[in-house]
Each structure stands twice: as C-alpha cells, then as structure tokens.
Amino acid sequence: MRILITTLLVSSLCAQTTGRRFIDPVFSQVRVTKDIAYSQNADFTQAPVTLKFDLYEPVGDTMARRPVVILIHAGSFLQPSIASAGFGRSPIGTREDSGIVALCVEFARRGYVAISATHRLGWNPQATTQEARAQGIIQAVWRAMQDGRALVRFLRKDAATTNLYRIDPDRIAMGGSSSGAYVGIHVAYLNRPEELDNPKFKTAQGNPFVDTTTADMGRGNGPNAFEGGGGHYGYSSAIQAVINLGGAIGDTSFIQNENIPVISLHGVQDPTTPYIDGVVVTAVGNLPIIEVFGSYKFTEELIARGNQTALFPDFSGDQPFPGLYPFYGAEFEPFGWYSNSTAAKKAQARTYVDTIVRFVGPRLFKVFGLPNLTMQLQPTVEVVSLEAAEPLGAFAIYPSPASEPWVTVSHPGLSLKHLELYTPAGQKVAEATPPPHTSTYLWSLPETLSQGLYLLRIHTEKGTFTQRWAYLRP
C-alpha cells in the first residue's frame, strides 16, 4: 500500500531558494510504501511470524543510490498491547509510533530512504526471578538483533538484484527509540560468540542465556547464529552508523574497534534506560532485570576504542562527548506523542524531532561521506499526519481546541478542494486551497488569529460542509 504525504506551503521560507541535500528539507512530498515483508522467522513461542517495514522516500528524487536510515520503535520488546498498558500510552511498539514516523518523514524530505521497521516481539517480564527476566530480555534483544541483520541483508539483496528501492548498500544507519536503539547498537557491536561468555549472561548453573552453538538459535552454529534464520544469506549485514535515541548496550565489553560511529540523543532523566548506567526495570511493576550501560557510558568507551573518529575534528566540541546530545530535564522518548497527548505535548514533541534531525543530520553526513549537493529548496514546514483521520463519513478536525494557529482537516473518502475559516459573525479570516487529490491537509493559519470559536467551511467534490473549530491562544 502506498500513501503520498503532502506538505504545507508557506511564504516565510521563500527567501531561501536553495538547500543542501541530506541537511535541509529539499523535498516537499514523501511517498510511504507500507507493509513490505523482509523476513520470516519463529517468535519466542516458536510460532511463525512475518516481519515487515514501511519505506519513506522523497517524491521526484532521481538519485540512483540513496543512503538509508532504519529506525525501530520503542516498547521494551513487548507486544504492542502489553507495551501500551505498561507505558500507559498508545500507539507504542509499532511501526506507527508517532516520533518514529515523524523522523522518517523528515529524513526522507532531506533525501534519505527512511525505514520504520519492527522485529520479533515478546518475552516474559513477569517471570518470578531476576535471572529469568534477564534471560528473557537478552533473548529478546538477540532475536531483534537477528531481525535487524536480516533487514540489512534484504536491502543489500535488493540493491544487487531488482534495485527496487535504490538504496546505497555502503551507507546504512540503524537505530531508533529506546529498545529500538538497542537493536542498532547490538547489530553494530555484538558480533562475536565469546562476547556472551560472561557470567552476567549466564544462569547460576553456568548455562548461557543465549547458546550460539545450537542450530535453533539461528542458521547454523557459532558466528552464523548472529545472522539468524531470516533469509537473504550471502549478503552482508554490516551497518555503517547507529542512531541511538535513548538506548543502551548490554555490556561495554562488546565494544572493540568496529569503527561504527554512534550518534546519540538521550533524556538524562529517562527512567526506562539509564543515561549513564544502571539496572533496567520492567515497564509494569518496576521489577529489576539486568544492568546496562547508557549513552554516556558507552559513548565514553566508543571514544576510548577509536570508534567515533569519523566525527573528528568537526564535532569534537560536542559535549559531553562527540556524537552525544543529552536532553537535560527530559525523560523517556520526549519526541513522541500518543493518543492521549495534548496539543501542547505534541507541539513540544515536534521540537524534539527537529532537534534530533538537526543534530543527527550533519554528523551522519560526515560519517557517510555524502556528496555536497545543492538543490532547489521547496518551501515547506510541516507534514500531514495520515493516522488520525475519523472513520468514513466524518471529518477529522484536530486539534480542537488548538493552542497554536494551525489545524488539520481530514476525510478518508473525500478530496479537499477549498477551505475557509469564518468568525461566528460571518467574517472570513482565512482561506486555503489544498493540492489536488488531498484528503488530509495541515493548514497554517495567521499568527494574528484571535482566540475563540470559528466555523470551518470545507469544499469537496461531494459538496460543502461546515465544522466548528476552537482556538485558545497560549
């Protein structure tokens, strides 16, 4: 299934006529291809599962080989329903996580192929002993890591054969939010069987949490077990960079001289994954699981081992370390918003999205050694959400009341021809004409708009409709 995300034109950016690809948003439309199957495997109950991703790419792009950003959702490796209950928010643990979707769109607008992916989910966070919980989470990370490797192999196979997605097989970054970041970190740095030969990853009887010598842990024994049973064998699963948004590594001893830079942003007060180090706990019950090392601690080790050298000298001034941006005062996933988030929370989350893109963009540009391409900058500022529409037969007008001068108008079955905003007294205060075939439109209204109740007149091919909308200036 393909979706076209259109963006809103604004005059404020018209003075800037050109931008740098991979740094600036030089594309105004993003095409989303959903539900692409990349692997089949057995989940933690040994039931078969098909793994999928959604692909975001810029419309009108002619580049033959495009760098890839793979982003994976949070959710503590739990099924979405359990993750939503544990974290008290929805959606979480899916490819539709708001922050991940917003980041994919922003990277695609800058010329990347962006991917929102999932992996095998499930383990028992209610196990009665810490050892059992530790073994469960490590095996969950192991399966997710295998799936991440399978996805990279899938992309490289496509690049070498059908070339449907036009990706650059030598420029692949992987990461994501919280547990999704764990996946990218471990794909990069957990790559030798002896790294798991550690009492921390064994039972009291000395049995390994993950036995890499058994065939059922993957395809074959030993090093092959790291690749998993996900198919596309014969293609490399190596990545060239990690984007870490609040993740951690199981042990800093995994880090050798792999030379895979990690670009990190982390909420210093994150209670789910420690910024420095500590024992992670379950989302429900706060039960201790296992000690991990957060962004501060493992970035320190990355530098000591020479893995961040690609960021020097340009970003040697990053504090506290090159490639690390602390979100002071922030907790878990400040760039995400959910079904129960207020308009103010959503607006705040989008500022974090902007910070992430502005921090990651130049550093990934240098790590990848991307070409310096100047392009015509299309004057756009905001993407349209396609996930919040009401059922067929009803318009979605959100947020209402709004605390900022913008409103999204959406209908799943009608194209929006023209929009008009009136005061209750009948005075027209704004109007807009969405692009052709647009059914979801984010309308930026005048900054001088007064607070109060308004009437929104919506012209479609099936007639004209009027809806109420409220604006409360902050």
Q: Beta strands of 306-413 (E only): which ranges? A: 324-327, 374-376, 380-383, 396-398, 406-410
Angle at 72 between CA 67 and CA 75, to 5 degrees: 170
Conformation bin of residue 128: beta by default, left when phi > 0, alpha when psi is -120 to 50: alpha
Six-digit token pair at 325?
Answer: 């941006």
For 222, residues 6+ apart whose C-beta sits below 8 A from its C-beta are 193, 212, 213
Give pLDDT, residue 149.
96
Query: What's 94's DSSP letter?
Result: S
More confident call, 7 vs 67: 67
- The confidence score (pLDDT) of residue 382 equals 37
Q: Report the distance separating Cα 290 and Cα 292, nearest Å.
A: 6
Which range among 210-224, 234-248, 256-270, 386-400 shows the weakest confidence by mean pLDDT? 386-400
The reported pLDDT for the residue numbered 93 is: 87
Evaluate if pTM is beyond 0.85. Answer: no
Residue 87 has pLDDT above 50, yes or no: yes
Distance between CA atoms of residues 96 and 79, nearest Å: 14
Say if strands 428-432 and 396-398 run parallel, antiparallel, or are unpaired: unpaired
- Which of 390, 422, 392 shows the shortest CA–CA distance to 408? 390
Q: Mean pLDDT, the chain, as a whole number?
A: 88
Give the residue from 343, 319, 468 showing the smallest Cα distance to 405.
343
Pairing of strands 452-460, 463-471: antiparallel
Check residue 202 and report its DSSP letter. B
Q: For 225-283, how does the pLDDT look when each residue is reduced to its tens digit (9 = 90+)? A: 888 888 998 999 999 999 999 999 999 999 999 999 999 999 999 999 999 999 999 87
Contacts of 286 by beta carbon, 8 Å cutoff, 6+ apart: none
Q: Is pLDDT larger for residue 417 or for residue 220? A: 417
Angle at 24 between CA 344 and CA 53, to 5 degrees: 70
**Structural tokens at position 67:** 């760098």
User: Would you say 243 and 183 are in contact if contact means Cβ atoms under 8 Å apart?
Assistant: no
Whether the CB-CB separation of 349 and 334 falls below 8 Å is answered with: yes
In the chain, what are the domains? Answer: 2-381 (3.40.50.1820), 396-471 (2.60.40.1930)
User: What tens digit of pLDDT does each residue of 52-63 get?
Assistant: 999 999 999 999
pLDDT value, residue 378: 66
Q: Give the helix/strand (H/E) hosting 371.
A: none
Query: How sure is the predictor about 40, in pLDDT bands with cuts at 50, 70 and 90?
Result: very high
Collect all residues with Cβ–Cβ distance below 8 Å to 463 and sequence separation of at least 6. Answer: none
Give the Cβ contact number of residue 25 at 10 Å: 25
**One-letter amino acid identity for 63?**
M
Strand partners, 117: 53, 72
* Strand bridging mode 416-422 / 30-42: unpaired
Residue 193, pLDDT > 90, answer no
Give phi and psi for 364, each to the nearest 5: -70, -35
Structure tokens at 66: 């495009």
Task: Classify strands 324-327 and 262-267 as parallel, antiparallel or unpaired.
Answer: parallel
- Round to whole Å and give the CA distance between 117 and 97: 10
Contact in structure between 471 and 405 (CB atoms under 8 Å): yes
The CA distance from 35 to 33, in Å, is 7
User: Which among 257, 245, 11 has a CA at the least distance from the CA of 107?
Assistant: 245
